[in-house]
Chain A
Amino acid sequence: MKIGFLTVHHASKEHRAMSAAKAPTSLRRLFDEIGTVDHVGIEERVAKFTTRSLKKNSKVFGLHLAVSMVDLTTLEGKDTPGKVASLCQKALTPHDEGDIPPTAAVCVYPTMVKHAKKHVAGTSVKVASVATAFPSGQAPLKTRLAEVTAAVNEGADEIDMVINRGAFLAGEFRRMQDEISAVVDACGKATLKVILEVGELESYDNIRAASFLAMRVIRPNDFIKTSTGKTSSNATLGNNQVMIEAIRDHFLATGVPIAMKPAGGIRTAKQALHFLVAVKETLGDDWLNNKHYRFGASSLLNDLLRQLEKERTGAYQAPWSFSEASEGY
């Protein structure tokens, strides 16, 4: 959906004042409002997604869809303009054979935005930039906001921010939400993805709470995102399920669609299809597109291509055809 810049800007400001007044003072009160999550139950639910069996056309459809949802990512200290250039090339043309769509975006550090933009400008591939002192977020708010502004000015179409986990865990929900609101303002037209860093939130209950706190201050079609990929526990079907159920409940209550991005740990095509089955059966068809669902991944793409090539030719390709390492792009 298209929303004029001014409207959104105005809306989020007005909203910020509202949310400040409404911010719950304790997790207990928040759970009274949004409900809790049963750990055992949610893991049983997601286990059922892994028993879905996708064959033939439905498999090819799912694999194509997954390719189109990849935020092809490189977030390394050793990134160079050259490496980002080859990443962009891979994003634009993942594979020569078959009718493979480009990925949704490339995801890089702010210093690489201008290099990436050169290669993908004018195409459907977006440039996403992590910002706000990714991955820890442990920098003064002013610095974090300046980083967002810099990335947007360099041409970033999307900003992946991290929440203040310390504030959340200490119960300072208002501070956490106000910081997100400030980033929303700094984003301007850029789409925002709010990284909850689920691996640091300790429980499914907390993931649900943080999802709601974030969704209440971001704009329609902004994202909530599982993780930075820099901690030991990242996107799992369980985390994903808690977040997409939160998105569903928020949508049904307010009409505001929020998008979702699991990131980190999704390396195989089979995993990606399980995540998409979860989306299909929880949020429905409206979320089965790259405006509403993304995968933050690097090595996933080549496994998707490997499987698509197998479906196209009927045989797996030699192991050297598709590199396991994203450095090989």
Chain B
Amino acid sequence: MPIAVQKVHARSNPARELVFGDLWEFDPAPETADPKLKKKYDLFINGRFIPSQSGKYFATINPATENKIADIALADSLDVDAACSAAQRAFTTWGRLPGKERGKYLYRIARLLQDHAREFAVAETMDGGKPIKESRDFDVPMAAAHFFYHAGWADKLEFLAPGRQFAPHGVVGQVIPWNFPLLMLAWKIAPALATGNCVVLKPAETTSITALKFGEICQEAGLPNGVVNIVSGAGETGAAIINHPLTSKVAFTGSTEVGKNILRSLAGTDKKLTLELGGKAANIVFDDAPLDQAVEGIVNGIFFNQGHVCCAGSRLLVQESIADEVLAKLKRRIATLRVGDPLDKNTDLGAINSAVQLAKITDLVKSGVEEGAEKHDNGCRLPSKGFFFRPTIFANVSMSHRIAREEIFGPVLSILTFRTLEEAVEKANNTVYGLSAGVWTDKGSRILKMSTLLKAGVVWANTYNKFDPASPFGGFKESGFGREGGKQGLLDYLKVG
């Protein structure tokens, strides 16, 4: 340490902190591609857009401005019945179509999604609130990638289970969440079509637009009528699909609470079910980890998509000896995160999806403060309209705090510490969930050991939130069952004899 030099300098800069100020402010850089939105969206049944039989519509708003974007048709049980019947009729030919022919349709859909990528990205961002850079660089390209991947499988299904007999289920009922509207649709529809099933899908009520726009893609791809049906609505619409006599397989992604209800309602039926539910993932940082890259992974793990991610790394478990340093680095890193207009290309955190979700996050954060955890946020200015929340970190969290146990589904990180590997594993597994986990260490053998001890469907090592269509994704315990992606995901869409 250059002591003399340091003394000279210490006088002029006693604070020793970095200044992330407004010397170089970025001007607005809005994405201007046309999302080609309609004022009114009807249901997509049997290859055509038709109004609901009740004639009812509900409004969908832009969560960043609270302005109405469009009216969305509200499907009731009559509409769901029409959709299921259309799917059943389509299945008689689609289910018998040779795999390579089905593959051609999937390739066509994938390419059309790429052709319309900007349009879909802007629509997704306006309807859901996620930053344009994520919908542009992650959601839409990944959705296309899922169709490409599963297109390749369509004529190779016999290699999934060599020597076994298999057949599609028939009509598959699918209900998806609002955090990755188009991507979750792709995760659901691509494997279902590749395996010869027909689909009735319900998007979340706050984010129906890209699903209904996907109906336009199906038309453009010349997909036979009824193979894909999209019915919009809220919980009752979803229940009607799940309980409809024609749906022989149900796939649901969403909250654990709703997942439990579905499980109850399907008990005693012979419907196949896969559930992808909540999570409270532990992101575990050992003292030998490359800290700056770990901090980047922590930030990516919890602030990606405003934390509206079921596998978000919402519990940071950090080895006690480096806890202060990691907290300091995190605080410095979130100082440069930009919260605001989701359509701005420089926005890192967009809008919270709905007023309801914002209220839930606010409530849990309040409980964190009341229970004695130490709250830090980046203090940035938030837009006056719309639903926004600052990136927030809680230090000194203990396992009994609500913010350490409940899924917040927002940009809120809870930091806990540990001393030994065993303690880290114990704390990581001490949860009702088991969807994902992260491990940060320079030591390879420790990564392997942790990956066998952690009860989680995905364990990321020295990275976080990495997805690939070939990699199965799904949970343990109350995070659900069944897998999506890869061979395992395809098998869930087949009856294997």
Chain A interface residues (CB < 8 Å from chain B): 1, 3, 7-8, 10-12, 14-15, 18-19, 22, 35-38, 40-42, 44-45, 51-59, 61-62, 65, 216-217, 219-220, 245, 248, 251-252, 254-257, 276, 280-281, 283-286, 288
Contacts and interface: CB of A to CB of B under 8 A. Distances in A.
A244 to B, nearest CB: 11
A65 B2 contact: no
B24 A1 contact: no
Contact of B4 (A10, A57, A61, A280): A10
A11 B137 CA distance: 51
A52 B26 CA distance: 9
Contact of A36 (B13, B26, B442): B442
A41 B1 contact: no
Interface in B99-148: 133, 137
B327 interface: no
A254 B27 contact: no
A15 B4 contact: yes
B24 A286 contact: no
A7 B346 contact: no
Interface of B: 1-6, 8-10, 12-14, 16-21, 23-29, 133, 137, 290-294, 296-297, 336, 345-346, 442, 462-463
A252 B13 CA distance: 11
A35 B5 contact: no
Contact of A220 (B5, B24, B290, B336): B5
Contacts of B345: 51-53
Give 4 closest A-B pairs by Cβ, nearest first.
A41-B293, A11-B4, A53-B29, A284-B18
B292 A288 contact: no
Contacts of A40: 293, 462-463
Contacts of B19: 284-286
Given A15-B2, A283-B18, A54 B29 contact: yes
Nearest to A249: B292
Given A14-B3, A255-B9, A285-B19, A37 B24 contact: no
B296 A44 contact: yes
Contacts of B8: 3, 7, 11, 220
Given A15-B2, A37-B292, 10 more contacts: A14-B3, A15-B3, A41-B296, A41-B462, A53-B345, A55-B26, A284-B18, A284-B20, A286-B18, A288-B23
B9 A58 contact: no
B293 A255 contact: no
A229 B240 CA distance: 67
26 contacts: A3-B8, A8-B5, A14-B2, A14-B4, A18-B3, A22-B1, A35-B291, A36-B290, A37-B292, A37-B293, A40-B293, A41-B294, A44-B296, A54-B26, A55-B27, A55-B28, A254-B2, A255-B10, A256-B2, A257-B13, A280-B20, A281-B336, A285-B19, A285-B23, A286-B18, A286-B19
A146 B291 CA distance: 42
Contact of A58 (B5, B13, B14, B26): B26
Query: Which among A3, A10, A12, A286 has the greatest number of chain B C-beta atoms within 10 A?
Result: A286
Query: Which among B10, B290, B292, B296 has the greatest number of chain A C-beta atoms within 10 A?
Result: B292
Contacts of B21: 284-285
A58 B290 contact: no
B295 to A, nearest CB: 9
A231 B34 CA distance: 46
Contacts of A248: 18
A288 B24 contact: yes
A56 B293 contact: no
B241 to A, nearest CB: 38
Contacts of A7: 4, 8
Contacts of A35: 290-292
A7 B3 CA distance: 12
Nearest to A45: B296
A22 B3 CA distance: 13
A55 B24 CA distance: 12
Contacts of B29: 53-55
Query: Which among A42, A58, A219 has the greatest number of chain B C-beta atoms within 10 A?
Result: A58
Given A36-B442, A57-B27, A286-B18, A52 B346 contact: yes
A12 B4 CA distance: 8
A134 B26 CA distance: 39
Contacts of A217: 2
A42 B28 CA distance: 27
Contact of A255 (B13, B442, B463): B13
A254 B1 CA distance: 8
Given A11-B4, A54-B29, A256-B9, A285 B20 contact: yes
Nearest to B14: A255
B53 to A, nearest CB: 46
Contacts of B18: 248, 251-252, 283-284, 286
Contact of B293 (A8, A15, A42): A42
Contacts of B442: 36
A65 B23 CA distance: 11
Nearest to B137: A51
Nearest to A57: B27
Nearest to B5: A11
Given A1-B12, A38-B462, A285 B2 contact: no
A38 B21 CA distance: 28
A62 B346 CA distance: 15
B24 A58 contact: yes
Contacts of A56: 27
Contacts of A42: 292-293
Nearest to B296: A45
Query: Which among A10, A45, A254, A255 has the greatest number of chain B C-beta atoms within 10 A?
Result: A255
B2 A51 contact: no
